[in-house]
Chains A and B, each alone.
Chain A
């Protein structure tokens, strides 16, 4: 440590100088590493999103790139969050094939559950995947596709009349008098996810036109999640 021979103001100025020097070196170091890794990171994040989307979309029925054809929508009541959430559109030429909505179940057992919900142009659910959650391991985490196939129970459900008939029995948990199977010992989690998917399908029903006709957001535009 330097011996304090100089006066306090001098020491202060010298200290500030060295700290600033450290900060500048840190900034250079960080920006270099960022530049070197940037492309790989972008590629990884893209691959991640593609994998999630292709897990829910019917593979061979569209010919565009849904991860590039996206818009952002906001609907706190039906999509579960007041964030602007991405909707990805799958098309075959000009024809809309399906839309993948991002929705949030705000009342999971341990917090928010984030979902990707693919709905085809006819209003039928093509697939649902959980992309983020904090549910209990061994109980609520059965909503993950690799833990159990409960999440597949949504595939094929017809939601086209949900907007006019929101209390349809297929969309209500058996515990609440409906016909949808709940996960053993994870009623709260099941209920939250079923409700979120149901609301997302209703949103799709009410906004189908808009969803497929709004022009796509620019590549780097829009809030990320």
Chain B
């Protein structure tokens, strides 16, 4: 069929052209607050991917029955349901990560990326396309969380993958690398201003690379 969605294009768009963290600048609150270590960023990224994909698929599958004027409350209801499920799953299977991420798991509900994709894409597209879109935006967001978290962890704490056992089980504790024996490296990196500056540098890098690609 000639109007079959172009999955590659959808995927590339969510990952790069419309990356939620670097281009659309959505979901900045969790992005800045949780990107202090790589594992924390990865944990929240995984939770966000799950919620975006589940929401997109459900919103898309039920788009015929969602009343136009009530679509936003409906989307929020769906999002909140999946976020609560994710939180219960974290509490049951990754309790220490739940303690580390704290209030930012429930705050996924307020992440504009999810509501944005539901409204702009999933409510108008078939489920498979919605799933691909969700995956792309989720992975794009998670990638920024992981990269920013990794950089801030290396510079600010002198470690990488600290806390891996919270996500991958006790055996992975050996993954953690230590670059310096100081408990604290460049302090600014783990404080909020460091997060803003780090994100700004990543955005600048992304824009630079995109410009070069165009030539």
A residues bordering B, Cβ < 8 Å?
Answer: 1-2, 4, 11, 14-15, 18-19, 22-23, 26, 29-30, 33-34, 37, 40-41, 44-45, 47-48, 136-138, 147-148
Contacts and interface: CB of A to CB of B under 8 A. Distances in A.
A47 B85 CA distance: 22
B17 interface: no
Given A37-B91, A41-B92, A26 B77 contact: yes
A3 to B, nearest CB: 10
A111 B156 CA distance: 23
Contact of A41 (B70, B88, B183, B190): B88
Nearest to B185: A138
A48 B95 contact: yes
A137 B77 contact: no
B74 interface: yes
Tell me whether chain B's interface is mostly helix, strand or loop, or mixed. Answer: helix
Q: How large is the interface on B (under 10, 10 to 19, 20 to 34, 35 or more residues)?
A: 20 to 34
B78 A14 contact: no
Given A11-B69, A19-B73, A138-B187, 17 more contacts: A2-B68, A14-B67, A15-B67, A15-B69, A18-B65, A18-B67, A23-B77, A26-B77, A26-B80, A34-B88, A37-B89, A37-B91, A37-B92, A44-B95, A45-B95, A136-B191, A147-B183
A90 B180 CA distance: 41
A41 B67 contact: no
A140 to B, nearest CB: 12
Contacts of B93: 40
Residue of A23, A37, A48 contacting most chain B CB atoms (<10 Å): A37
Given A22-B74, A33-B85, A1 B66 contact: yes
B84 interface: yes
B81 interface: yes
Interface of B: 36, 62-70, 73-74, 77-78, 80-81, 84-85, 88-89, 91-93, 95, 99, 123, 156, 183-184, 187, 190-191
A1 B77 contact: no
B68 A137 contact: no
Contacts of A4: 68
A184 to B, nearest CB: 12
Given A138-B183, A147-B183, A15 B70 contact: yes
B210 to A, nearest CB: 34
A58 B55 CA distance: 50
A30 B81 contact: yes
A22 B78 contact: yes
Contacts of B123: 1
Nearest to A137: B190
Contacts of B85: 29-30, 33
B67 A2 contact: yes
Nearest to A25: B81
Contacts of B88: 33-34, 37, 41
